[in-house]
Copies of this chain bind each other. A is one copy, B any other.
């Protein structure tokens, strides 16, 4: 069973590792009286202050097991490996490596591995509608005029 390891923790950052992506399948998530294989949450280890995130591996034929919605969080699903189907509110569409799905809080969502190998996804949630028009990556970022040393 894998566990998240902290690389380094500083005043303004936390760095962790979940290990090689093809070993995510070896994680086991305890959830009350059951265990979910192939899934790991990382938000707490990272001390994230506005997101939660998880990696999950689905074996061929496996799906999410249930539909779910959210109260106030938008989710992004990144398909990092494999092939499958995604559904929101009954709409079903194919997804594969490089697909990204954004789901609003009220969307009824689930995912299925329809391929022959493992499906690996990264899911991130954060407050929906928390950006305003001025929140472009350009306007929020400050490029510093000081030397970059290694």
Contact = CB atoms under 8 A, between A and B. Distances in A.
Interface of A: 7-8, 10-21, 41-43, 46-54, 63-74, 76, 78, 80, 85-89, 91-104, 106-110, 112, 122, 124-131, 135-137, 139-144, 146, 148, 150
A13 to B, nearest CB: 4
Contacts of A129: 49-50
Contact residues of A: prevailing secondary structure: strand
Given A10-B91, A49-B74, A92-B150, A15 B86 contact: yes
Contacts of A52: 131, 135-137
Nearest to A2: B98
Nearest to A99: B17
B107 A15 contact: no
13 contacts: A12-B106, A12-B107, A15-B99, A17-B95, A17-B98, A21-B97, A52-B131, A52-B136, A67-B143, A67-B146, A71-B139, A72-B135, A73-B140
A140 B78 contact: no
Contacts of A93: 7-8, 15
Contacts of A139: 71
Contacts of A11: 89, 104, 107
